[in-house]
């Protein structure tokens, strides 16, 4: 009789332990799902930035400001913020190579131009993909800012007009204003600052 009683007690204890184990496993799984959901919602709240910031450098190696590229519905918004640049109007263009070798920045090549057009928004045979529709005016404090929406470039690396095509491009600041019509660079003079554009 005592043996039967002991067997029943042990059997009940095993059942209780199984129940506790099932409940514990369920709680752990629920916590895991909750953590996963929390991580997913955190990711959704913090999307990766699609902006690209390019640092500019003068031919003497000094910081010359930044250019910010951001994809927009019409193409790419290009915001130019210049610093340590002589006062006046300056042409700013996207050039074909991702190289900024001082002091002349000639290794940046010509204007980014996969469409094979002529220079300038006022040129009937233009414009280059890398042309901007205006100049950047720099004040007596050696700073200047302008924004342009470029409809002939992309930030999609799979497209031929992408600023990331063939290993990237560069942004070049010229010493003078761009006249928006004269090949190859609108009589904008020497290259005085440059920044490499890469993914």
Rounded distance between C-alpha atoms, residue 132 and residue 110, angstroms: 14
Tokens of 8: 């029943």
Look over the chain and give the mean of its residue pLDDT values, rounded to a whole number: 81
Tokens of 45: 């709240």
> What is 52-197's CATH topology?
Immunoglobulin-like (2.60.40)
Tokens 């332990």 label which residue? 17
Tokens 């709680």 label which residue? 27
Per residue in 45-94, pLDDT (tens digit) is 333 358 999 999 999 999 999 999 999 999 999 999 999 999 999 999 99
Following DSSP, what letter does each residue of 31-65 receive, concatenated? HHHHHHHHHHHHHHHSPPP--EEEEEEETTS-EEE
User: Confidence class of residue 160 from pLDDT cuts 50, 70 and 90?
Assistant: very high
User: Confidence class of residue 126 from pLDDT cuts 50, 70 and 90?
Assistant: confident
CA–CA distances in Å: residue 27 to residues 18, 35, 40, 67: 14, 12, 20, 51
Position 25 pLDDT exceeds 50: no
Rounded distance between C-alpha atoms, residue 41 and residue 44, angstroms: 5
User: Confidence class of residue 179 from pLDDT cuts 50, 70 and 90?
Assistant: very high
Rounded distance between C-alpha atoms, residue 92 and residue 147, angstroms: 11
Position 199 pLDDT exceeds 60: yes
User: Tell me, what's the pLDDT at 155?
Assistant: 96
User: Tell me, what's the pLDDT at 141?
Assistant: 97
**Which position has the higher pLDDT, 130 or 5?**
130
SS3 130: coil
User: Confidence class of residue 186 from pLDDT cuts 50, 70 and 90?
Assistant: confident
**Which position has the higher pLDDT, 151 or 26?**
151
Rounded distance between C-alpha atoms, residue 188 and residue 175, angstroms: 6
Strand partners, 138: 88, 144
Tokens of 117: 């057009």
Over residues 102-125, the mean pLDDT reads: 94
Per residue in 146-156, pLDDT (tens digit) is 999 999 999 99
Q: Cβ distance 121 to 187 under 8 Å?
A: no
């Amino acid at each position: 009789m005592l043996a039967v009683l002991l067997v029943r007690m042990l059997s009940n204890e095993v059942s209780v332990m199984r129940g506790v184990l099932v409940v514990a496993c369920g709680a752990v799984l629920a916590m895991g799902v909750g953590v996963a959901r929390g991580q997913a919602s955190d990711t959704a709240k913090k999307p990766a930035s699609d902006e690209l910031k390019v640092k500019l450098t003068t031919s003497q190696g000094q910081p010359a400001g930044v250019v910010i590229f951001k994809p927009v519905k019409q193409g790419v918004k290009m915001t130019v913020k210049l610093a340590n640049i002589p006062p006046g109007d300056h042409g700013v263009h996207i050039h074909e190579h991702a190289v900024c070798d001082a002091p002349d920045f000639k290794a940046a090549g010509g204007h980014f131009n996969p469409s094979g057009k002529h220079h300038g928004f006022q040129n009937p045979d233009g414009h280059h993909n890398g042309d901007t529709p205006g100049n950047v005016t720099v004040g007596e404090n050696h700073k200047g800012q302008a924004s342009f929406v470029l409809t002939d470039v992309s930030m999609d690396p799979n497209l031929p007009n992408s600023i990331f095509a063939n290993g990237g491009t560069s942004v070049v600041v010229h010493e003078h204003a761009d006249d928006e019509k004269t090949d190859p660079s609108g009589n904008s003079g020497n290259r005085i600052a440059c920044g490499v554009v890469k993914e």
